[in-house]
Amino acid sequence: MTNKGTGAGGSKTNIHGKAFEAKTEHLDGFTKKCIGYEKDNIVYLRQTELKKYFRTMFKKEVIRYPDEAYLIRNGDKYTLKIIEKKSQKVEGSVIEKLNLGPFYKEEYEWCLGPQFKVEYAYCLSSFLKKKYLSDTLKSKFLREMNRRNEIIVLFGDDEDYQERLNEFIYNESTLHSSVSPDSWSESLVDKKSPTLDIL
């Protein structure tokens, strides 16, 4: 795996980040393949696996190393669901990186082309959740920008995180972050998983 911590924060931030990534990992039911993991119609890819998979299977290059990605096929179209995990326990600059969600989403779309729909999500620790849902003007604007750009925000320390994650992965109409801290996501219109072809 690429060391994402290089040049991206102090050692404590990196340690907390790695522990948070491991805690929120979602491998249940997936089978290890040469590149990534598979379960039914979904390919689960982590960090460097994403670049290798798209280079091997689609002859396409991507720029980033996402913490988690889920590739779902629907006929000749694909949906790529990206999850970036952010963890912090003290004041710092990690929260500022959440401003880049719309840019990264568009970057993936540009790299992959019209055959791929891209959905982008953040998974935040409890400390960052409190910052993200605060009443500050900056946080309100960030939530509004994520809503406009359909950037999903999940909270990895919440008891229902795995349930929320499954809703994001298996549903076309997924959870969106809300402007209101008391109602950070909308309910799904349809909780049934879409019928998709196997990769």
Rounded Cα distance, 143 and 154, in Å:
12
Structure tokens at 81: 């669901």
Percentage of residues in the chain having pLDDT higher than 90 = 48
36 band by pLDDT with thresholds 50, 70 and 90: very low
More confident residue, 101 or 17: 101
Contact of 154 with 175, CB cutoff 8 Å: yes
Backbone phi and psi for residue 81, each to the nearest 5 degrees, phi listed first: -110, 115
Domain boundaries, the chain: 11-170
Q: Which amino acid is at 136?
A: T
pLDDT digits (tens, 9 = 90+) for 109-167: 999 999 999 999 999 999 999 999 999 999 999 999 999 999 999 999 999 998 999 89
User: Residue 141: how many CA atoms within 13 Å on its side-chain side?
Assistant: 6
Burial class (CB in 10 A: 0-12, 13-18, 19+), 152: buried
pLDDT digits (tens, 9 = 90+) for 167-191: 998 875 444 443 333 333 333 333 3
pTM of model > 0.85: no
Rounded Cα distance, 15 and 21, in Å:
10
